[in-house]
Amino acid sequence: MSRKTAPTDATPQERGRSRRLLGTLAERTRAGSSGLVLSLMATALVSTAFGVGALGRSDDMSDGAAWLWNAVTKEAVHVNGGNAEIDLVASLPEAGDGPVEVEQNDDHLLLTDPRTGKVTSVDLNDLGFSGRLELGSGDYGVVLGRESAVVIDRAGGEIKAVDPATLQATGPALTLEGPLVGGAFDDSDTLWVGAPTQGHAVGVQVSEGEATVTQTVAVSSPGADIGVTVFDDGALAVDRGGDQVVAMREGDDPVMVTMPAPMADSAMPARTRGEMAAVTKTEDDEIVTLLHPYGAAETTLFPVGRPGSGLAVPFAGRVYVPFDDEGVVRSYAPNGRELDTVTLPGAEGALELQVREGSLFVNAPETGVAAVVDDTGQATLVDTDEAPPGPGEVRGDTPAPDPVAPAPPAPPTTPATEEGTGGPGEAASPEGGGTPENEATSEPSTGPPGAPTPVTAEAGDASVELSWPGAYSPDAPVESYDITWEGGQTTVEGSELHTVVTGLENGTAYRFRVSATNAHGTGPAAQSPQVTPGGEPPGSPGDVSAEVTGNETVTVSWTGAENAVDYLVSAAAEGGAAAPSNRTTGETSLEFAGLEPGATYTFTVTSRGEGGVTGEAATSPSVTMPEIQVGTPGEVAHSVSGTTVTVTWTAAENAEGYRITPHGDGVEIGSETSVEGGATSHTFTRAGQRCFSFTVAALGSGTTEGGSARSTPACLAPFQ
């Protein structure tokens, strides 16, 4: 097992600085001090939801722990920061071979596959997969706060609040002037993003299910290249065109700090814990630290001293810098003195660093190895391929070191802590010898199905109708779906994707769990939203329409139904295409993304009342997605000569026209304008306007749109 390492001693001055920083950090709760007490029945449910043996003991589900992605096993593993043990495993077998982005708080876990744009939610209170969202291609971010969750369309400038359990929108989208950069919540549940075209950092809060702007801080001139990191109580914005940064927090005036070097080619993590920020100058292999930005604002510049350094992450008075090619993370004092080296044996690919719950978690997702670093600099190795404890198995808080290496040789159990020592070790062979665990083999993988997420529940009179998508099961056909709820269970054939549960009690709330079984076992459970049979059904939605709005998007719209609380929107596909998952919304329109070229779709809108009671349904006319994909205009620019403003661009593939949208005070020179596909320029006439930028969108046949691009904002001197 793993062994804790001894940190390099810091100087008294460094220890004092470290103590000042640690005063702002919450004390980490050790394993066993408090936790989630589970009954035997709950343990059985966890075994179904997260895989057999997923939970070995009552353990802390949040304090001192983090979820890490393992691309080898296609699982998210819950690592306890106190003892570096794996407590739970959430399997996502449909994930691709690349990285999966992990967002987490104490109640929910969100897993985003950037390759497909699919987001899956795990409800950690009920230990089940609870929602799915298909975002399609594009620059999207899904961000969790303490109580809130949002989907950020960075290119389009949209921020939409969503239910973290179901991932469905809870209110209309907030539209800012895109593109947006960054995006993370501080501890007050304020989301901070950068809006470069305006030169602003923007604070957003979610209230009653709707995202609204609560703070706007000018941090640079319009059109500047800015970066944003979010503190525990505010944010820090960097203007990469100069040497200044701006710190901001609620209740205080913004603070501008001059850095000891230009900020060109600089980068910061999306989230920074504590009172020290670290800015990585990627081209120069240098780090700039900023301590107490709202007070003394102490800054230091130091070289890393080696090529190949990654994004620096501050933690507990030190700066941790990954070196992906070496599979190590080196730590530095704020003055640049090199301290410890944490080596991850056999690590390959990108190293991910995150600070959570009083620990630094270092993860090599491509090779299934990780380490936990505590606030004194001690590192403990974690093997994320290791199976979690089985039922009844209890592991100690601190594994005892093995002073004598047994035969045959085991993998190194201690990350190196001395500079220049340690290095990738040999992977242990599985029992009986053979291929190392992380080495690819020609044998096909076999395993149980994935979770059939999302589960839709429609309540009626003493009954609930359930439906779900087919579970991901490439290794064997799904033989059956098992449905459980408090007080009952039923099973349907693997070819069935819905069932009606009868004999329920009107006025009683129910939640249902659906899991799939194939020849290799039963997969994780997906759970439905809570529904209550027996309420009064709402009326029918009217005038359902579906409009193709992009290469892979359709917007469905309808008129509201009397007494409806929300609407269930389902899709049917023809021509061999897969239908997207069911969606719910409280609005009267909804966009479906990720649709297939040439496929034909129809959409059915069902009204729902209190408790999920189903009303009548209405269906849209069918729509066919275009076979021809429209590209994106390139090299969008504008020039000003006297009273003439000329916008230019390079042609987009298959475009039949272009839409030009003015921004800044340039909106006064003319409204949004469309031109035919052969054009690559358009001219506006100005009067006294000074600030301009333009977005050019490619248009296809009908209402289809391709991509869009924007010129760099610029302001001119006044007319003489």
| Ramachandran region, residue 55 (left: φ > 0; alpha: ψ -120 to 50; beta: rest) | beta
The separation between CA 433 and the C-alpha centre of its own chain, rounded to angstroms, equals 39
pTM: 0.75
pLDDT at 385: 60
pLDDT at 389: 53
162 with 151: CB under 8 angstroms?
yes
The CA distance from 109 to 125, in Å, is 10
Is residue 41 classed as helix, strand or coil in its secondary structure?
A: helix
Question: 10 Å Cβ neighbour count for 126?
Answer: 17
81 with 64: CB under 8 angstroms?
yes
Structure-token pair, residue 392: 């009844």
**C-alpha to C-alpha distances, 546 to 215, 549, 555, 569, 590, nearest whole angstrom:** 36, 9, 6, 12, 10
Is residue 15 classed as helix, strand or coil in its secondary structure?
A: helix
The separation between CA 286 and the C-alpha centre of its own chain, rounded to angstroms, equals 28
19-23: long-range contacts at Cβ-Cβ below 8 A with a sequence spacing of 24 or more? 19/317, 20/275, 20/292, 20/317, 21/274, 21/275, 21/276, 21/291, 21/316, 21/317, 22/274, 22/316, 22/317, 22/375
pLDDT at 597: 86
Picking from 488, 497, 455, 460, the residue whose alpha carbon sits closest to that of residue 612 is 460
Please compute, for residue 350, the number of CA atoms within 13 A of its CA located in the half-sphere on the CB side: 11
Per residue in 170-212, pLDDT tens?
888 899 888 899 999 999 999 999 999 888 999 999 998 899 9
The CA distance from 681 to 117, in Å, is 34
Three-point CA angle 263, 710, 213, nearest 5°: 70
How many helices (H) and strands (E) would you count in the chain?
2, 55
Q: Which amino acid is at 520?
A: H
pLDDT at 57: 29
pLDDT at 439: 38
Longest CA pairwise span in the chain (Å) = 86
The CA distance from 113 to 119, in Å, is 6
**C-alpha to C-alpha distances, 567 to 238, 464, 582, 589, nearest whole angstrom:** 43, 16, 10, 10
Q: How many residues would you count in the chain?
A: 720
Q: List, run by run, the mean pLDDT of 10-residue segments along the chain (720 residues).
A: 43 34 22 24 36 35 79 91 89 86 94 91 90 85 94 91 91 88 95 92 93 93 91 94 91 90 94 94 91 87 91 96 96 93 94 94 94 94 67 37 35 40 35 37 65 93 93 93 94 95 94 95 92 91 91 91 92 86 88 88 94 91 88 90 90 92 72 87 84 88 82 66
Whose structure tokens read 């270092």? 362
9-13: long-range contacts at Cβ-Cβ below 8 A with a sequence spacing of 24 or more? 10/317, 10/333, 10/339, 11/333, 11/337
Picking from 132, 136, 146, the residue whose alpha carbon sits closest to that of residue 115 is 136
- Please name the residues in contact with 56: beta carbons below 8 A apart, sequence gap of 6 or more: 87, 388, 389, 390, 391, 392, 393, 394, 395
Burial bucket for residue 241 (CB in 10 Å: 0-12, 13-18, 19+) = middle
* Phi and psi angles of residue 610, each rounded to the nearest 5 degrees, phi first: -60, 135
The separation between CA 676 and the C-alpha centre of its own chain, rounded to angstroms, equals 39
Structure-token pair, residue 545: 């329409």
**DSSP string computed for 198-233:** TTEEEEEEEETTEEEEEEEEE-SSTT--EEEEEETT
pLDDT at 718: 54
Picking from 689, 680, 691, 683, the residue whose alpha carbon sits closest to that of residue 645 is 683
Q: Which amino acid is at 527?
A: Q
Q: Which amino acid is at 107?
A: D
In the chain the first and final C-alpha atoms are separated, in Å, by 76
